[in-house]
Every structure is written in structure tokens, then in C-alpha cells.
Structure 1
Amino acid sequence: MKVIHSFGDETISNDIERPVSFLLTNRMGDYLSFPSSNEILSRYHGWFITLGDSFYKIIESIELVGSDSSAPPLNELKNNFTDVEHKRSGGIREHFSLHQKTHVFTYELNKRASIALCFDIRKSYDNPEMGRIYDIQEHDGLLILSYHYGSEDPLYVVIAYPDGDHSLSGEWIGRHYPFDERRNSPPFVKYVYRGVIIRGRVIVCSADTDKNAAIEAVRRAVKEKHAIISQQKDWLRESDLAPRHIQDAEIKMAYRCATHSLYGLVLARHNRKGIYAGFPWFFQFWTRDEALSLGALADERFPGAKKILLSRLEAIDDSGRMLNKVPTGDGTAADAAGWFFKRIGDHIEQFDAQERVLIADKLMKTIAKMRASREYRYLIYNSWGETWMDTTSRAGACIEIQALQLAMYDLAVRLNGGDRLRELRDNLSKRVRERFWNGETLTDELNETTNRPNAFLAAYAYPDLLNKEEWATCFENILKSLWMDWGGLATIDRENPYFTSWHTGENPKSYHSGDSWFYLNNLAALVLFRCDKKRFAKYIYRMIKASTEEILWHGAIGHHGELSSAAEFTSEGSWSQAWSNAMYIEAINELIKNPAVDITNA
């Protein structure tokens, strides 16, 4: 199958054999995703929307049906950023479009056919079997499906089919999800509702808990179809998704894709503003992920980044910690506050005098709270599950937590001055060097010799901890035990008995004990570039190459996934991960602007 990415007059393509999918977003917290195969591979494929504080699945599948009950095979998948095109055998062309700023999508064919709409309406994490009630009625040229489950308010799906006709099917069909089974993510089998078969070329769907709002959205989409398409394409052209100085065609297109993917995870609706951690299942504001992702957004193209940074400071608790998710979480993140202050420090020039006073006050209070609750002999301690490696113990004093505390002290010195703050910074720096630095590597945890890649996070957060030659020595020694030749870092020493070569899905065995995370690979490439771009050229090149290929030709095409198995380059986990996209953007911004090493041919 041929995969094409097209932006304006620039196009790249590749013939691939592996299964992939497309994923469209609309900045409303919605997504539309279908695989390249004729079968739905995951219960997370389909059309999902954000309504209030809930995330709903609406449509399971859109299926071409004929005498043999199967669609012609897919030969070509084309990503136009705002829409996707399928070319099938027999000259059939499908066009998928998810509308911006409204819960509407359009499906269009180049010729009339019979199209079955299958529904699986539910909250994303829920999987009810009994008690699901669907009802479809005709209303003024539209079909209105109402869904009831238990005592929940009904949800309405409005379907327009201009110049077409329909027949109600009303049958329950069984589905098997091989992708979910491979990920150890039950249920692998469930029943979905094939509600209607439409004979025509165009289907427009809207969903809402407000029936009239859904009707109005569909009618507007049908009436103003061409204007809406034009507006979406105009926005895409004006957004300038790739700097002109990127010459390599694949890196340039991957950069555009990563930027577009990251924008699609930004939600700015009424009282819900922030960055989703990822689709399909991280549709929450994870504080750590959000803070790291804001580095790629904190410029003139996204003025909302400053508002998010300032608003999150209100979420710091009495211990100087933040919840792992806001507004409500199921644990605390030892590093989230540090990452937010790190981001603020990186872009302090964007804040006015009054905002800097507010930041300084919040920073000093956070430092005081953290020292009172978490400090022992200058080092900062965390509990089990509070670092980003939350499936491992890592309870105690961890290297990146110390680096983030140092970054907070450094920002406090810049904002407030004062000998006491300098003393705190210098004492912690001295203590970390004494207890973590052995002349060859920075240990991952106090009194722990296991090699992990968190020294790269420490170097990114507070590069002044070591000098450049010390960092280079540290990285050379860490790479010996973590480097995977395909172009990634394992999350634990390859010789460690807990090292797991292959991704284990929802079983967390491999998650932080083998799996290679794309966000961290991109960050490591950037850190190595800053340290010694020539000495580490091979590693920089291979990590950027792997990430570029993953964005363009693996998983959900045009999106940067969560991670890879350690043993072999794969696309696993979340299909579109905010911090993976963001760190790729940040790395390319710096690597391309300072091309002392050719990252396209090392």
C-alpha cells in the first residue's frame, strides 16, 4: 500500500506492507481514526468526541457493503493534514474530514455505494454489554439516532445523506479486536450496533447531548461545506508548520506532521484548557507531559502556552507537588512543578513585570513547601510511582528530581537574587555531585547502580550540574548499556534481569524496563547535540531518523507515537503522544538551525 503525505505543493510517499491507520483531530478534543485494513483492529478505532468532562465513542466503523459483504482492498492512503483520502481497488475513492470547532465529520465517495454505519456509543473506558438502547427516527430529511444507557442522559447522533436514501438495519454484530488482544487490553470481543445502511455518496454526522445543537451543526456543515473546507485549508497554509530552512524532505514533512499532531491535542474550550497527553486513551491533562510539551508551543504561534503555564501554578499543593493529572488525578508527580518552572524559566522574557512577581512568589512558596516535606540533607526525595517511570519503584532521591530542584533554585536566583538562594543551589549541586557522580556516570538513584536514561533528563533540566567533558563521559558510558542499534534508548540496562525486549502492552512489565520512549530519544538527541555534536553524531542521526520514520510511516501516520519495543523498531502504545511530538519539534528546531553535523547523513 502507498502512503502519501501532502502539504500544499509538497508531497512525499512510501510503499509499506505493515498495517497503519489515520487519525484526524479538531482541537475540540475529538478524533476520527480508522485502520488501513478492512477490519476494525481496536475498540479505540472510530469516531470519538469530548462532551463536557466526558470522552465518548460514537461510531465504530463506516463500511462499504456489496454483494460479497466486503470492501475492495485499500491501495493508497493520503494524509492532507485536514483530511484523509483512501483509494481502493475498482476506482473507489473515500474522503474523510473532521470539522474544526464542532463535533461533525464528513465521509464522501467518488461514486454511489452502500455504506453501513456501525455504532458503539459509550464512554471511552466503559464497555457495557447489556442495557444499551438505540433508536433511529427520520426527521425532516435527517436520521436522528438516540442512545440510552441506564440513568445517563440520552446522546443524539444526527445523520445527513444528501441525495441518498437509506434502510434501517438494526442488527447487532460481533467484533474481534486483534490489536487490543496483542496489547493485553480486554475486552477483545464485543457486540456493536449496525444501525443503518445508506445508499449514496456523502454522509455528514454530528453528535451531542443537545439534539437541536446536533441538528443545527449538521445542517450548517451541509450548507456551508465548501466554505468550511476552504477555511480549514487556509488555516493550514497560514500556520507555517515547518521552518523554511529545513531542507530534508522527510524531516520537513515529519516536522509539519508533529506540529499538526501536537496542535490537535491542544484543547481550549470554556473551562477546559490544556494539552491532552495523547490519543486514543490519554485524553486528560497529565501535568508532567503537558509541561514538557509546552517547550515546543511556547512561542508566538501559540500564545495560549503562557496562560497554561501560569494557570498550572495554582495546582501546586502543600507539599510542593502537583497531581499527575489536573483537575483531578490518581496520584502525585514529583517532577511536574519542576518542569513547569523549567518551562517558565526557558521563556521568562515572555512574561511581563507583574507576571514575574507572581511567578517569583509561587516559586518561593513551592521551594519552601518542597524543602519542608521532601528534603533531607539538601536532596529531594520522592515516593514510589511519583516519577515519570511510574511502573517502577524509584522511591528515594532520583537524579532528574535533583536537577529540576536545581533549575528551580536557579530561576529563583534570576528572579529574586539573594545569597541564601545561591547557597541552596550550590549546596544541592555539591551534594548531587558527591552522591551521584562517580567520575564515569550519574547514578539514576541514590545508592542504586542500575543504568537508566534519566541522566539525559537531568542534563536537559540543569546542564550546569556537570561540565561538558563530564557530561560526555557520562553519556558515553550510559550509551554502552542502553543503546539499541535501530536508534533508541532502552529504559533499563540491557544486562539487567528486569530488561524486557518486547513491548508487553497493558501489562506494564516492559514499560520502564526495556521499552524505548520516543520523547526521551528526541530529548537525548538534543542533549547530545548540545554536549558534543560531532562526538555523538551517530547517535543523534539514528534517533532522529527513527523518530522521523515513525511519524511518517508507522502507527497512526502523521503522528508521533508513544514508544517502541527495545529489541526492534516498532510503533507501540499511544498513537499520538504530545511529548513525543513536542520533543521532536524542539530537537529539530535546534539541530537544523545549527547544522554543524549533518543529521540526515551521519
Structure 2
Amino acid sequence: MLVVHQIEDIRVANEADNPCFILTNKAGGYMSFSEYPSSRYQGVFFNKGEMFKAIDNIFPAGAGPVTKLKNRFYSVEREREGLKENFMMPLFHNSIVYELSKEAEVELVLDAKKAYDNREFGRFYKIKEEEGRIIIEYIKKTDKREDRSEGRKEYSIYIVISGGSISKKTKKFFEESYSFDQRRESWPWKRYVFSALRMKAKSLVISFSTSKSEAIKENSRVQKSLSELKKKQQIYVNGFQKRMKDKEKMSAYKAACLSLDHLITAVDSKKGIYAGFWWFFQFWTRDEAVSIKALIDQGKYDLAKEIIFRQLKMIKKDGRIPNFYPAPSKGLGSADAIGWLMKRVFDLFEALHQRKLITEYLSPDDLEFIKNKIEECIYGLIDKHTNDDLAFNDKLETWMDTEYMNDHREGYRIEIQAFRLNIYKLMKLMCSVTKDKVGENIADNLEKDLADRVRKDFWNGEYLEDGLNDSTIRPNIFIAYYAYPDLLSKSKWTKCFNKIIPQLWNQWGGLSSIDKEHPLYSDIYTGENNQSYHRGDSWFWINNLAAICMARVNKRKFSAYINSIADASTREILWQGAIGHHAEISSSAAMESQGCLMQAWSAAM
């Protein structure tokens, strides 16, 4: 299939194998389709405090195959023989706009449900017409075949359609198969969905809510202001400008900026970044903190500050922050989210200082708040997560948070030491800014003592080991450099990278997540069973971060690796997976788009 990306006068095109697209409304919802449904997470989803799915598929009945997919970044056009479809999801509206180049019969397939609710029984649809609109009510009731009770109403979803006339109420459940989910071993990869109706249409506005009156009002608002919404959306995406000689690289850069931007939303009136679509529609604090640097680089200092301050307010008595916002009552701990947060505090301060903007964005009270939170963090970490002066983490608390064959990274990990060192360095900086000489000296001593200890215990003469008494080669060394480059001299970092890169390198332009000679290495993505996830799979955010580190240490020496990573990331974001978005992972053996197809930290790095 031919895929085209076009934004203003920049156009790039290439062939792609079964691509899909994802559009979001920046209000927590998204729309995603491919020629044929490949995941239960495709369709149209909207957010009303929690995520709901409404549509599984919409398409012109009896039309030929899709031959061309055009991404305008504010809308997507699909071309079939003699017919074009255009999809748009208006920003900040729980609606989609579906338009055709000529009137045709359109089939609507529904799978109304809460996003993670995969129960099959107790699903009821009612279809009627009211005042020129088609109104579909979905009611979910309990069923004793899956629930403890029978016939108790749980929730409703309303779908309101304007612009179409019903030609046939099909009202039929049929089984849909999802190949992407099956490849991931993510059950269920088969599900009964509901062919609701066929309608004659050329332009449809379809709106969603858990309230009938709200869905009708939403539909009316979008329908009345459709022309204006289209113009605003086009202006919005055209605002992401950066000129480069290479059109593909420039298109990839703009795609990454817009992809990250379209994951920015609000939860409880607090702005943040979803970890990704299709299924990571939560604020994961680690992923957010990693991604904040892209906001800083784009000069979005207010937004970066808002997210940073929200996370600072989440610091617990043990010096860490929870994995999620809002904080769950239980779940895995995070050893590195606090480290990433403090790295971004440092990055924001440094960026503002370089541009002489500190007083514009950080008041004296802000600086005192930051310093106090860093103190709280250090006291808690030393008290609860330090053994023999080294930072300690339990099982599954680093970003490599899956277990297979007793591989769980409990203990003293290199990147966690580097983050701790950066926290001490940041504390020293903030004490200097606030003229706290005593605190500055304490932080300086903590930093020097730990740096000496890490060099002694982790440097084996060739590279930094992944953990205390664990010489396994993993790409976490790049995170360690990124967090605290002062740990080694540039010559030693060069020696370190020289040693580890060949052990991790994939010829297509990425890094394995473990030494390819390690007995746990898996060259092919194994899906949800975790065998390959952190033991072989190549992570695009790590690849991009590694390229940044190589460029900072010795750009000339590592240029072949850097260019190969940049080329692979460009290919993936433009021509694979969800076009215009960076996927979570790839198999090590060959580049492919796997895992979450629109991943925040992949785009941000």
C-alpha cells in the first residue's frame, strides 16, 4: 500500500505493509483503523473519567481494497478504487468526522464497552432515529455466565450520528479475529462484535458519551462548527515547524513532535502525558519524566514545569514517587521514576539558566519548593532504599519490570546508582542557588563518596556492570551515562561503549535489551509472556537515547551506529506500525513495530 505523509508543502511517500493509523482528540480518546481490524484496541475510544470503546470498524460496504493511505497529521485519507474516505477526530471533542468523496453505503460495526471489559454476555443495543439523528444506546448488564448476578445494569454508552440515513438495520453479532493480538498472545484475540446498520452517507459526525443528552449536544456542536474545527486543526498541526534538508528526517521529526503532543491530556484537571496508545492510556510517572525533555527542548517550559511540580508533590516518605498518577493503592514500586524526575528538574533548570529565563518561570518560592522536595527525596531514599551506601531496589522496580527464568534485576543496579548521583548533584546545585552552604557541602560529600564507590564496584576495567556482581551486558549503561556522565571520563565511556555495543547490536539499527550471547536472549518478540520483553526485544526509546549518548561521548567514532539508529527510527515512525507514530519495541532479529504502537517515550527521545 502506498503511504503518504504531507504537512504543508512537505510530502514524502513510500510503500508500507498493512499500516494502520491513530488519531487522538487530546481529551484522552483516540481513533485507530487499518484496512482490516487487527486488534480489539482499534476502533474509536473516548474518555469520560475512564476509557470506553464505541466503534470497532466503519467502512464503505462493498468497496474495493485500500490502495493508498495519506496522513495529513490532522486527518487521514484512505483511497480505494473510485472512492476516498477521510477521517478526523476534532481536538477536545468526543466525536469523529467520517467523510466520503461521494455518497456511498457505510457499514457501522460496534463494540461498545469499557476498554478493558472483555465479557461477551449481557450486551444490548437499541437503534432509533430522533430529529434527524441516529441514536444508538448500548446497555451492559450482568450475566450469570460471567458474573455473580443476573440482569443488573452496569453502564450505558450512547452513540449519536448525524448526516446519514439508515438503509438497513443489520443488528447482527459476528466473530472478529484480531491478528495483532494473537501475535502478542493477548487474549481475547477473537471477539463477537455488533454489525449495527448500514446507512447512506457522504459526511458523518459521530459523537459519544455515557449520557444521551450530552452525546446529542456534542454532536450538534461539532456539526455546527465543523468547517471552523477543520481549519483550527490544520493550523494547529502546521505550527510544528523545523526545517531540515532531508525531507524524510524532517517528516519523522514533525511526526514525533505531534505524536507526543497528541498524548498530552488531563486527568483530574492535571495535565500529563499518556504512556501510549493503544492500551497505555494512563500517566506512568517514569514514562512522563523521560518524555518531559522533549517538551523542554521545544520551549514548552510551562507545561514541563506543571508536570514536574505535580510529580514532585507525589514524593512519598520513602523518597520515591508512585508508578502512576493518580497513585494506585498497590502495585509495583518504581526505583527509577524519581531519578528520571530529578533529571528533568535539572534539565529544566539548565535550559532556563542558559536562556536567562529562570526568574520568568521559577519564583523564589518555586526554588525553595524544589529544594525542599529534593531534601525529602534524599532523606527517604537513604533511609528506605540504601544499603551499605549503595542504592538498592527490589524485584521488578526498574524500567525492566518483567520477570522470566528468575531474571528480575533485584539488587544494586547501575542506572539506579547514576540517578542517585544526579539527585545529589542537583541538591548541591539547589543549595548553591538558595545559598545553603551546609546543605551544599553535605550533598557534595554524598556525591563524591557514592561516585568513588560506584567506580570501584561497577567498573571492571572494560565496562560498567549492570549490577553489583552481575556482569550481564544490557543497554542500561546508556541510561547511566545519560543520568550522570561525570561517573567516568570520556575515554572510559568510549571504551565502555566499544565493549557493549557489539554485544547488543542489531544490524537493522537497534540494540537488544540483553547481550545476544546470554542464555536468556530471545531474538523474536514473544508478546505478553515476557520472555523477550526485556531479554532481547529492542526498545526504540533506548535506541534513540543510546544514539544521543554516543553522539555526546564520541560522535565521529560512533557515527555509523548513530546514523543507523536514526535511519531505523525514521523508517519505523513513517512507514511501519501506526504511521506517524513510534512503536514501543521491535524484535531483535528484524525491525518490526510491536507492543504499543504510539509510545510517548519512543517519540520523545
TM range (shorter): over 0.9
> 1:34 is aligned with what amino acid?
F
Aligned to 1:589: none
- Paired-residue identity, %: 41
Aligned to 2:27: 28
* 2:385 is aligned with 1:387: no
Aligned to 1:525: 547
CA distance, structure 1, for counterparts of residue 362 and residue 345 of structure 2: 9
Aligned to 1:206: 207
* 2:352 is aligned with 1:361: no
Aligned to 2:66: 74
CA distance, structure 2, for counterparts of residue 55 and residue 218 of structure 1: 19
CA distance, structure 1, for counterparts of residue 117 and residue 267 of structure 2: 24
**Residue 161 of structure 1 contacts residue 198 of structure 1 at CA under 8 Å; is this kept in 2?**
no
Aligned to 1:45: 42
**Cα RMSD (Å):** 1.2
CA distance, structure 2, for counterparts of residue 243 and residue 86 of structure 1: 27
* 2:420 is aligned with 1:405: yes
Offset at residue 314 of structure 1 (A): 1.6
CA distance, structure 2, for counterparts of residue 269 and residue 343 of structure 1: 21
Aligned to 2:321: 322
Say which SS state the counterpart of residue 181 (structure 1) adopts.
helix
CA distance, structure 2, for counterparts of residue 183 and residue 375 of structure 1: 37
Say which SS state the counterpart of residue 531 (structure 2) adopts.
helix
1:498-513 superposed matches below 5 A? 498-513=520-535
Aligned to 1:594: none
Aligned to 1:433: 455
CA distance, structure 1, for counterparts of residue 522 and residue 134 of structure 2: 51
- TM norm structure 2: 0.93
* 2:84 is aligned with 1:83: no
Say which SS state the counterpart of residue 158 (structure 1) adopts.
strand
> 1:500 is aligned with what amino acid?
S
Q: Which moved further from structure 2: 143-152 or 77-86?
A: 143-152
Offset at residue 273 of structure 1 (A): 2.3
**Residue 160 of structure 2 contacts residue 207 of structure 2 at CA under 8 Å; is this kept in 1?**
yes
Say which SS state the counterpart of residue 173 (structure 1) adopts.
strand
CA distance, structure 2, for counterparts of residue 280 and residue 242 of structure 1: 27
Offset at residue 9 of structure 1 (A): 1.2
1:182-193 superposed matches below 5 A? 182-193=183-194
* 2:381 is aligned with 1:370: yes
Residue 52 of structure 2 is aligned with which of 30, 38, 56?
56
Aligned to 1:65: 61
Deviations 1:226-245 (CA, angstroms, capped at 9, x unpaired): 111011112222x2x2323x
Residue 415 of structure 1 is aligned with which of 430, 433, 437?
430
Offset at residue 153 of structure 1 (A): 3.0
Offset at residue 351 of structure 1 (A): 2.5
> 1:518 is aligned with what amino acid?
F
Question: Structure 1 pair 272/152, CA: closer, same or farther in 2 (3 Å)?
Answer: farther
* 2:119 is aligned with 1:152: no
Aligned to 1:3: 3
Deviations 1:415-459 (CA, angstroms, capped at 9, x unpaired): 114221110000000000000011210000100011111010000
Gaps of at least 5 residues in structure 1 are: 584-602
Aligned to 1:592: none
Deviations 1:454-498 (CA, angstroms, capped at 9, x unpaired): 010000000000010000000000112111111111011111110
Deviations 1:291-311 (CA, angstroms, capped at 9, x unpaired): 000000124346222111001
Say which SS state the counterpart of residue 19 (structure 1) adopts.
coil
Offset at residue 365 of structure 1 (A): 0.9
- TM norm structure 1: 0.93
CA distance, structure 2, for counterparts of residue 178 and residue 341 of structure 1: 41
Offset at residue 328 of structure 1 (A): 2.9
> 1:65 is aligned with what amino acid?
A
CA distance, structure 2, for counterparts of residue 268 and residue 325 of structure 1: 14
Aligned to 2:106: 115
Alignment size in residue pairs? 570
**Residue 290 of structure 2 contacts residue 340 of structure 2 at CA under 8 Å; is this kept in 1?**
yes
Offset at residue 63 of structure 1 (A): 2.4
1:87-166 superposed matches below 5 A? 87-89=79-81, 91-150=82-141, 151-161=153-163, 164-166=165-167
Aligned to 2:308: 309
Offset at residue 272 of structure 1 (A): 4.1
**Residue 82 of structure 1 contacts residue 233 of structure 1 at CA under 8 Å; is this kept in 2?**
yes
Say which SS state the counterpart of residue 67 (structure 2) adopts.
strand
CA distance, structure 2, for counterparts of residue 351 and residue 123 of structure 1: 41
CA distance, structure 1, for counterparts of residue 221 and residue 480 of structure 2: 51
Residue 257 of structure 2 is aligned with which of 238, 254, 259?
259
Say which SS state the counterpart of residue 383 (structure 2) adopts.
helix
> 1:415 is aligned with what amino acid?
M
Aligned to 2:146: none
1:170-319 superposed matches below 5 A? 170-237=171-238, 239=239, 241-244=240-243, 246-268=244-266, 270-298=268-296, 299-301=298-300, 303-319=302-318
Offset at residue 209 of structure 1 (A): 1.4
Aligned to 1:478: 500
> 2:304 is aligned with what amino acid?
A
**Residue 242 of structure 1 contacts residue 252 of structure 1 at CA under 8 Å; is this kept in 2?**
no
Say which SS state the counterpart of residue 527 (structure 2) adopts.
coil
Offset at residue 323 of structure 1 (A): 1.6
Gaps of at least 5 residues in structure 2 are: 142-152, 353-360, 433-439
**Residue 276 of structure 1 contacts residue 283 of structure 1 at CA under 8 Å; is this kept in 2?**
yes
Say which SS state the counterpart of residue 185 (structure 1) adopts.
coil
Question: Structure 1 pair 375/270, CA: closer, same or farther in 2 (3 Å)?
Answer: closer
> 1:389 is aligned with what amino acid?
M
> 2:384 is aligned with what amino acid?
S
* 2:477 is aligned with 1:452: no
CA distance, structure 1, for counterparts of residue 592 and residue 332 of structure 2: 30
CA distance, structure 2, for counterparts of residue 272 and residue 196 of structure 1: 39
Deviations 1:337-374 (CA, angstroms, capped at 9, x unpaired): 11111101111134332111100000011101100111
> 1:256 is aligned with what amino acid?
K
Say which SS state the counterpart of residue 594 (structure 2) adopts.
coil
> 1:396 is aligned with what amino acid?
G
Offset at residue 165 of structure 1 (A): 4.2
**Residue 117 of structure 1 contacts residue 196 of structure 1 at CA under 8 Å; is this kept in 2?**
yes
**Residue 120 of structure 1 contacts residue 192 of structure 1 at CA under 8 Å; is this kept in 2?**
yes
**Residue 54 of structure 2 contacts residue 157 of structure 2 at CA under 8 Å; is this kept in 1?**
no
Aligned to 1:553: 575
CA distance, structure 1, for counterparts of residue 270 and residue 208 of structure 2: 19
Say which SS state the counterpart of residue 296 (structure 1) adopts.
helix
Aligned to 2:585: 563
Aligned to 2:358: none
